[in-house]
């Protein structure tokens, strides 16, 4: 498909997993893509892959917990391509799994700074750029099934993901009259590095049991499946969708 030719998408956490797949999905539909993450080697490799396919990409090293980094990221995308149509706020960390009575403030701060503060900062500067450019846009925050479900040891992660829902609905209410749609896409168990790290902690047997007993489709999602859903939310095909929480989890939350 080439229905996004001439448009520009910005993706945070683009160095791997869902972010990487989303950048490739944007490029496949013709969009020029600004790639942001902390790991430059992975961004360089992705940029090369996109350009080899005949599309345009630019990269910028970004820590989304830092306001100056986020402001530079958005400025770089606009200065490079002249516009900003789509933004996907995907960067996130799971932190260490710790019981609530032993949960360290450092662990809490790291997760909330990246996942919740980072989403706020991205929304702030992306919205400002889109308002100044005056052609509307679409922003998708990437949440999780833990945006509505907590789990033992994951207080900070669940709190940060719950918070993203409030940010999304508030931003949607404010920005919709200016033609900017804001939604949150919540993936379930997906074949990414984060989920492999969790598998290493809880063990293959337990992880597979959770999938078999709790996921209607009986398997993990693929990053490409999540990316296609995100890009659909950005596209004109979802032109009447804003302020919503869309879940792509294979039926997981229907079982809990």
Q: Give the span between the Cα atoms of 34 and 230, in whole angstroms.
A: 16
Are 34 and 8 in contact by the 8 Å Cβ rule? The answer is yes
Of the candidates 242, 253, 238, 233, the residue with the CA atom closest to the CA atom of residue 26: 233
Q: How far is CA 191 from CA 15, 97, 187, in A?
A: 15, 19, 11
Q: Packing angle between helix 105-112 and helix 155-175, nearest 10 degrees?
A: 30
Beta bridge partners of 138: 86, 181
Assigned token pair, 51:
């350009």
State the Cα torsion 176-179-180-183 to the nearest 10°. 60
Active-site residue, 240 included: no
Assigned token pair, 25:
């999905």
Which residue in the list 86, 125, 157, 240 is annotated as catalytic?
Answer: 157
Q: How far is CA 154 from CA 114, 150, 233, in A?
A: 15, 7, 28
Assigned token pair, 84:
């900003």
Q: What is the chain's alpha carbon radius of gyration, rounded to the nearest angstrom? A: 17
The residues that are catalytic are 157
């Amino acid at each position: 498909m080439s229905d996004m030719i001439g448009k520009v998408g910005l993706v945070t956490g683009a160095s791997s997993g869902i972010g990487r797949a989303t950048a490739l999905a944007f490029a496949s539909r013709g969009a020029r893509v600004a790639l942001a993450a902390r790991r430059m080697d992975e961004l360089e490799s992705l940029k090369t892959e996109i350009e080899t396919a005949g599309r345009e990409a630019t990269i910028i090293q970004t820590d989304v917990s830092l306001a100056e980094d986020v402001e530079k990221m958005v400025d770089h995308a606009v200065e490079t391509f002249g516009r900003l149509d789509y933004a996907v706020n995907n960067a996130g960390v799971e932190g260490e799994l710790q019981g609530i009575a032993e949960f360290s403030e450092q662990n809490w701060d790291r997760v909330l700074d990246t996942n919740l503060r980072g989403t706020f900062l991205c929304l702030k500067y992306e919205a400002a750029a889109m308002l100044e450019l005056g052609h509307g846009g679409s922003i998708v925050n990437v949440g999780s099934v833990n945006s509505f479900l907590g789990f033992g040891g994951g207080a900070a992660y669940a709190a940060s993901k719950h918070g993203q829902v409030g940010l999304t609905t508030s931003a949607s209410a404010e920005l919709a009259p200016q033609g900017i749609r804001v939604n949150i896409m919540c993936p379930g168990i997906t074949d990414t590095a984060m989920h492999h790290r969790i598998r290493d902690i809880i063990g293959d047997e337990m992880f597979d049991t959770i999938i078999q007993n709790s996921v209607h489709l009986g398997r993990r999602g693929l990053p490409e499946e999540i990316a296609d859903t995100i890009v659909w939310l950005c596209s004109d095909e979802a032109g009447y969708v804003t302020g919503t929480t869309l879940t792509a989890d294979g039926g997981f939350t229907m079982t809990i």
